[in-house]
């Protein structure tokens, strides 16, 4: 039986376990990336492991999230990350060089290699045929130290693309169409592989848009073939030697096949407040808008912004609309400046933002109260924009640009003949904003620079014989990591300060939760299905750990967050019967006896002391994860096993 693209890469990198669906497998990791919102904690964890030098082929630290300097905190974190990178063998991408996923695709990604990053949109690398996965910072630290990255062997889903996109229909509309079919939890435990004749019609930037937003499916990752189109892209980046052909076998077997006819697609939008709440632009046509933002790791490529510039050229942004545009990398920014496209964008009235994540992570450009904001981003969770009642729609750059001119939702197909933008035969290559590490023999001379905002990793303890605590919070379905640990300009600067962050834990759901945790000292969180979807931020596990949360009981988990809970030493449990969720109330006292003996071995009984009832939960963790939980978390487990 033949292999899929992902299975071929897994086969070449597996170092423990077997390629059997549902089995726990360990993979050798070739490359890692971090960004500054998660990087400080990841490097504190790396230091705690005591490994002097990274053991990956390439590790890169990017500064792209916390670039709003409203106090010393962000600048101190950047200084710390730069000094760690310099000392321990990590390349450092300076602020202004661009968004990690865009820059990594341009300058470092290699087909057939494995990449994990402490950012959930790391699967962007699948656009050039990488097995690229988002992970918690501690998992990235372990990989940098030479350890394996563990996943459950996923199912394989083939998305078969046929036909060709119609004029003014974009790659963003493809992934929105896939989200309409599969939903935000339809990719859990799966790798999404794109195939079919339609693949040959898509450039690498378009493919990367699709794999980037595969994170919103809950998928382990998404991947495209590495073909002649990939080769031409890498050649234009001066990296043709990095190219290898990587195709699925003709007789590869898939667990599921999704058919998408590109010729039948039309411009789409993800309406508030979920990436799978799909509407057609035709349905929304004429609806007034207040703000348009173009950029993010999803849609900030040279190709995207050249199309935007062509739409804006010679026109003026509607007076009721604020238009902001953020190029994804310095390379893109420079090339737009050199060819005159940037002048066209500025002349139209756009506000040019720096090459960073910016508003996508809630770092500035919040819309007006109740305002409708069209964004080319990947997430539109409630409150993520920084405005509690902001109405965020996710659209393509083409839809965003034409709507910014009209002041209302507008179908770009009304523009008539589509503009034709070709990728350059040679991109502008200038890596002067990437700082290499010092040679190994000089590393002892490098001082690690720590600011006062950097606090130690929260301490954990081995799993006790039993857990007895109150259900300090009960929440519903599709709770995101933005609910658990919000982002935004006011909070992100404290990502290296867990005690301060704890004040905001679950504040979106219940402002009293942190104080309740402090009063009760320990507790349990209860949730619905797809708990922990969204960002890979391990702070959504580390902060509950600091607040004394011992277990989380839900209907189902998102992949990365469940792994982060295990890494933090928090027990992840799922209801065997969803009806038991309904019968449980916040503040019920729950006891889980024999938990140390039975965790990961069999089903656990939970006694509801308040109601005098009991129910059954599953603890679906691997033997390795069981050992991590028993040890009190991945850091303690790693220390114990490295003695």
**Active-site annotation holder among 64, 304, 344, 588:** 64
Residues 199, 187: Cα–Cα separation, whole Å: 20
What are the E-state strand segments in 507-561?
Answer: 523-526, 549-554
Question: Are 406 and 292 contacting, i.e. CB atoms less than 8 angstroms apart?
Answer: no
Which position among 30, 36, 59, 65 bears the catalytic label? 65
The Cα–Cα gap between 556 and 573 comes to 8
Q: Does the active-site annotation cover 510? A: no
Catalytic residue among 36, 76, 77, 119: 119
Q: How far is the C-alpha of 204 from the C-alpha of 201, rounded, in Å? A: 10
Closest to 186 measured CA to CA, from 152, 215, 153, 150: 215
**Residue of 379, 384, 413, 483 with catalytic role:** 379
On whether the CB atoms of residues 567 and 541 are closer than 8 A, the answer is yes
Of 625, 566, 626, 575, the closest CA to residue 599 belongs to: 626
Q: Which of 495, 537, 559, 561 is catalytic?
A: 537
Distances from the Cα of 638 to the Cα of 139, 230, 643, angstroms: 11, 38, 9
Sequence-ordered list of residues with C-beta below 8 angstroms from that of 96, at least 6 positions apart, any chain: 67, 330, 354, 355, 356, 433
Please, what sign has the CA dihedral across residues 11, 14, 20, 21?
Answer: negative
**Which residues are CB-neighbours of 536 under 8 A, at least 6 positions away?**
38, 117, 118, 119, 120, 122, 134, 135, 136, 481, 560, 564
DSSP helix/strand/coil, 106: helix
What whole-number distance in Å separates Cα of residue 412 and Cα of residue 394? 15
- Assess whether 78 carries a catalytic annotation: no
Catalytic residue among 535, 536, 556, 622: 535
Retrieve residue 182's tokens: 């599969």
95 upstream amide cis, omega within 30 of 0: no
48 burial via Cβ count (<10 Å: 0-12, 13-18, 19+): middle
Active site residue 379: yes
Token couple for 350: 């756009």
- Helix (H), strand (E) at residue 400: helix 397-406
Task: List strand residue ranges (DSSP E) for 87-173, in order.
Answer: 91-93, 114-117, 131-134, 149-152, 155-162
CA gyration radius, the chain: 24
537 annotated active-site: yes
Check if 559 is active-site: no
Residue 119 is among the residues annotated as catalytic for this protein: yes
Q: Which residues are catalytic?
A: 64-65, 119, 379, 535, 537
């Amino acid at each position: 039986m033949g292999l899929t693209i992902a299975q071929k890469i897994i086969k070449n990198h597996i170092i423990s376990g077997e390629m059997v669906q549902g089995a726990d497998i360990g993979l050798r990791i070739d490359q890692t990336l971090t960004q500054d919102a998660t990087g400080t904690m990841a490097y504190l964890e790396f230091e705690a492991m005591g490994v002097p030098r990274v053991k990956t082929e390439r590790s890169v630290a990017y500064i792209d999230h916390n670039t709003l300097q409203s106090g010393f905190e962000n600048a101190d974190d950047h200084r710390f990350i730069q000094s760690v990178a310099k000392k321990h063998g990590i390349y450092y991408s300076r602020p202004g060089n661009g968004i990690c996923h865009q820059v990594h695709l341009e300058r470092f990604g290699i087909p057939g290699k494995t990449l994990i990053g402490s950012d959930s949109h790391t699967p962007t690398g699948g656009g050039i045929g990488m097995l690229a996965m988002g992970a918690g910072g501690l998992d990235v630290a372990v990989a940098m130290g030479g350890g394996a990255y563990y996943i459950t062997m996923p199912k394989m889903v083939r998305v078969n693309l046929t036909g060709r996109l119609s004029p003014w229909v974009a790659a963003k509309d493809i992934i929105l169409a896939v989200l309409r079919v599969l939903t935000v939890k339809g990719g859990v435990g799966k790798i999404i592989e794109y195939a079919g004749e339609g693949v040959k019609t898509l450039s690498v930037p378009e493919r990367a848009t699709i794999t980037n937003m595969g994170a919103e499916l809950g998928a382990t990752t998404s991947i495209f073939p590495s073909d002649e189109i990939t080769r031409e892209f890498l050649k234009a980046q001066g990296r043709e030697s990095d190219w290898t052909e990587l195709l699925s076998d003709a007789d590869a077997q898939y667990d599921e096949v999704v058919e998408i006819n590109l010729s039948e697609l039309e411009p789409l939008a993800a309406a508030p407040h979920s990436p799978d709440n799909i509407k057609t632009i035709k349905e929304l046509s004429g609806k007034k808008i207040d703000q348009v933002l173009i950029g993010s790791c999803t849609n900030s490529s040279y190709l995207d912004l050249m199309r935007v510039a062509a739409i804006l050229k010679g026109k003026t942004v509607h007076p009721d609309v604020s238009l902001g545009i953020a190029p994804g990398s310095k390379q893109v920014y420079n090339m737009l400046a050199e060819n005159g496209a940037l002048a066209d964008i500025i002349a139209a009235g756009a506000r040019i933002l720096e090459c960073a994540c910016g508003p996508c992570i809630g770092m500035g450009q919040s819309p007006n109260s109740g305002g409708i904001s069209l964004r080319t981003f990947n997430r539109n969770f409630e409150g993520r924009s920084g405005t509690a009642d902001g109405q965020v729609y996710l659209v393509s750059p083409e839809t965003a640009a034409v709507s910014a001119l009209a002041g209302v939702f507008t179908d770009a197909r009304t523009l008539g003949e589509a503009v034709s933008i070709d990728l350059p035969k040679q991109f502008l290559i200038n890596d002067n904003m990437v700082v290499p590490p010092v040679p190994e023999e000089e590393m002892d001379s490098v001082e690690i620079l720590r600011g006062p905002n950097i606090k130690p990793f929260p301490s954990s303890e081995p799993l006790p014989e039993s857990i007895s605590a109150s259900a300090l919070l009960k929440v519903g379905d599709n709770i995101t990591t933005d609910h658990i640990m919000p982002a935004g300009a006011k909070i992100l600067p404290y990502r290296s300060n867990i005690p301060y962050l704890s004040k905001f834990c679950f504040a979106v759901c219940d402002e009293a939760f942190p104080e309740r945790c402090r009063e009760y000292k320990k507790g349990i969180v209860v949730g619905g299905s797809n708990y922990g979807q969204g960002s890979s931020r391990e702070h959504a596990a580390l902060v509950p750990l600091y607040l004394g949360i011992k277990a989380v009981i839900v209907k189902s988990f998102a992949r990365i967050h469940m792994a982060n809970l295990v890494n933090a030493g928090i027990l992840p449990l799922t209801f065997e019967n969803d009806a038991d969720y309904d019968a449980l109330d916040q503040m019920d006292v729950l006891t889980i006896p024999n938990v140390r003996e039975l965790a990961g071995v069999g089903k656990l009984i939970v006694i509801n002391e308040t109601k005098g009832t009991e129910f059954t939960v599953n603890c679906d963790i691997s033997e390795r994860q069981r050992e991590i939980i028993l040890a009190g978390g991945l850091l303690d487990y790693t220390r114990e096993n490295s003695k």
